[in-house]
């Protein structure tokens, strides 16, 4: 299964559609009724599906993690453990990344997307690597599309890092992004240790399973233009992140991210200068499903555009990822067969975001084999 070299049909920038001020969105962006944001629940039979504006994902203050108060450190580790098991999503405060750097990183991207189209077009991406300026995920002809444009670039491995594929404008863009990437790789490395300890493993086990220092790191910047009919579409369809762990820097003004919690979609209320952390499919696999990668999606609105930066921390792409042997026991067999991240991510790259169907399909395949040893 190889990635195709080009898109199946001409690319339309969602930003151009939005700026043309059409009163209705093209059919290509209209989601089937059950996927539309106004349907708050996947089943309509319970009474629990009223919008839950009173709920938010856990917010965890990391201050104290490296101090000398052991009780405080234990408390924080416990909060992270619970968030990973119960939510798959949490926000972190006092994470060590400079707030000015966070704000500038978001701002350079806002400036980039506001450049005239002809200055962005040279960075147009292809489905071969997805690097650059894009407007769709997946290569299925005639697919229903999401109401967003994006920019995708690589930090690690260094062999994939190519400044020529990063925007040249605004002038400080590359410098800011470099600094941002370094800080976030560092933060993810620290979080990996905490997750490893919380799983009852030595602190380096998860990182080593990812390939040690040879991990992958990339950035997807999402640009969600204003939408004249936000109730009919989504900025980003429901998906779980295929990689290891994601650090999301959301828009500081405009909400939009929704996280699935049983049959409800919870709209995340971002805390100032927090990062939103979420578990990806590869950590679900490594933890043998003790930690879950949780489905999420993005809604849009008619009044304001939204910018977010999703930083993906991934395993080295050609090593097999499977449940850590310490987390496999007779009464808890390995739920997933080994698979490299290269193989795994082809799925989303070909078919676009589709809930959790990828990681779940691996599981059923494996359970089937488990119960049918001769098949
Ligand atoms: C993503 C993502 C959420 C957002 O890029 O994978 O889930 O708020 N983004 O833009
Ligand atoms: Ni995501």
What is the structure's pLDDT at 373?
37
Q: Residue 194: CB partners within 8 Å, gap ≥ 6?
A: 65, 77, 80
Q: Is 137 in the pocket of ligand 1 (CB under 6 A)?
A: no
Q: Is 37 in the pocket of ligand 1 (CB under 6 A)?
A: no
CA of 287 to the centre of ligand 2 (A): 19
pLDDT tens by residue, 149-187:
999 999 999 999 999 999 999 999 999 999 999 999 999
The answer to whether residue 140 is domain-embedded is yes
Range of the domain at 170: 14-371
Q: What is the CATH number of the domain that holds 173?
A: 2.60.120.330
Helices (H), the chain: 14-19, 70-86, 99-113, 117-120, 173-198, 205-209, 281-286, 341-351, 357-371
The answer to whether residue 4 is domain-embedded is no
For residues 164 and 201, give the distance between their C-alpha atoms in angstroms, rounded to a whole number: 40
Contact 167, 151 (CB under 8 A): yes
What is the structure's pLDDT at 4?
73
What is the structure's pLDDT at 41?
44
What is the structure's pLDDT at 137?
92
What is the structure's pLDDT at 356?
87
The answer to whether residue 312 is domain-embedded is yes
| Residue of the CA atom closest to atom 2 of ligand 1 | 310
Q: Is 242 in the pocket of ligand 1 (CB under 6 A)?
A: no
pTM of the predicted model as reported, rounded to 2 decimal places: 0.93
Q: Which atom of ligand 1 is nearest to the CA of 148?
A: 10
Contact 321, 341 (CB under 8 A): yes
The answer to whether residue 141 is domain-embedded is yes
The answer to whether residue 7 is domain-embedded is no
Q: Is 257 in the pocket of ligand 1 (CB under 6 A)?
A: yes
Structural domain total, the chain: 1
For residues 318 and 207, give the distance between their C-alpha atoms in angstroms, rounded to a whole number: 15
Q: Is 278 in the pocket of ligand 1 (CB under 6 A)?
A: no
pLDDT tens by residue, 252-294:
999 999 999 988 999 999 999 999 999 999 999 999 999 999 9
Q: Which atom of ligand 1 is nearest to the CA of 306?
A: 10
Q: Which ligand is nearest to the CA of 311?
A: 1
Q: Is 222 in the pocket of ligand 1 (CB under 6 A)?
A: yes
The answer to whether residue 9 is domain-embedded is no
What is the structure's pLDDT at 2?
61
Q: Which atom of ligand 1 is nearest to the CA of 278?
A: 7
Q: Which two tokens stand for residue 56?
A: 């938010």
What is the structure's pLDDT at 187?
98
Q: Is 235 in the pocket of ligand 1 (CB under 6 A)?
A: no
Q: Which atom of ligand 1 is nearest to the CA of 222?
A: 10
Q: Is 250 in the pocket of ligand 1 (CB under 6 A)?
A: yes
- CA atoms lying within 13 Å on the CB side of residue 339: 25
The answer to whether residue 2 is domain-embedded is no
The answer to whether residue 111 is domain-embedded is yes
- Longest CA pairwise span in the chain (Å): 61
What is the structure's pLDDT at 44?
42
CA of 276 to the centre of ligand 1 (A): 10
Q: Residue 336: CB partners within 8 Å, gap ≥ 6?
A: 285, 288, 322, 323, 359, 362, 363, 366
Q: Residue 232: CB partners within 8 Å, gap ≥ 6?
A: 25, 29, 30, 31, 36
Q: Is 106 in the pocket of ligand 1 (CB under 6 A)?
A: no
Segments of the chain with pLDDT less than 50: 40-49, 367-375
For residues 73 and 68, give the distance between their C-alpha atoms in angstroms, rounded to a whole number: 8
């Amino acid at each position: 299964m190889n990635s195709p070299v080009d898109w199946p049909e001409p690319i339309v920038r969602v930003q151009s559609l939005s700026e043309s001020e059409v009163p209705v969105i093209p059919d290509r962006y209209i989601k089937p009724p059950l996927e539309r944001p106004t349907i708050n629940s996947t089943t309509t039979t319970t009474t629990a599906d009223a919008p839950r504006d009173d709920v938010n994902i856990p917010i965890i203050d990391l201050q104290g993690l490296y101090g000398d108060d052991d009780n405080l450190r234990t408390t924080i580790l416990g909060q992270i453990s619970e968030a990973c098991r119960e939510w798959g999503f949490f926000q972190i405060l006092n994470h060590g990344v400079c707030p000015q750097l966070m704000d500038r990183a978001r701002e350079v991207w806002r400036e980039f997307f506001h450049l005239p189209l002809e200055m962005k077009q040279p960075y147009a991406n292809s489905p071969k690597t997805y690097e650059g300026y894009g407007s769709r995920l997946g290569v299925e002809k005639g697919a229903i599309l999401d109401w967003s444009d994006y920019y995708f670039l690589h930090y690690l491995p260094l062999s994939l890092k190519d400044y020529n594929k990063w925007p040249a404008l605004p002038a400080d863009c590359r410098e800011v992004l470099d600094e941002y990437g370094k800080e976030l790789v560092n933060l993810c490395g620290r979080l990996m240790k905490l997750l490893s300890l919380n799983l009852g493993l030595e602190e380096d086990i998860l990182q080593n399973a990812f390939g040690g220092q040879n991990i992958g790191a990339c950035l997807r910047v999402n640009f969600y233009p204003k939408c004249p009919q936000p109730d009919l579409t989504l900025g980003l369809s429901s998906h779980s992140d295929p990689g290891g762990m994601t650090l999301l820097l959301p828009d500081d003004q405009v909400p939009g991210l929704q996280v699935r919690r049983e049959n409800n979609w919870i709209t995340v209320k971002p805390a100032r200068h927090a990062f939103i952390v979420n578990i990806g499919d590869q950590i679900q696999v490594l933890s043998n499903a003790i930690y879950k990668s949780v489905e999420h999606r993005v809604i849009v609105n008619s009044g304001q555009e939204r910018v977010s930066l999703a930083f993906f921390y991934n395993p080295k792409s050609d090593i097999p990822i499977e449940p850590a042997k310490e987390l496999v026991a007779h009464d808890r067999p390995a739920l997933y067969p080994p698979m490299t991240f290269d193989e795994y991510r082809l799925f989303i790259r070909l078919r676009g975001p589709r809930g959790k169907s990828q990681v779940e399909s691996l599981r059923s395949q494996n359970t089937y084999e488990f119960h049918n040893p001769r098949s």
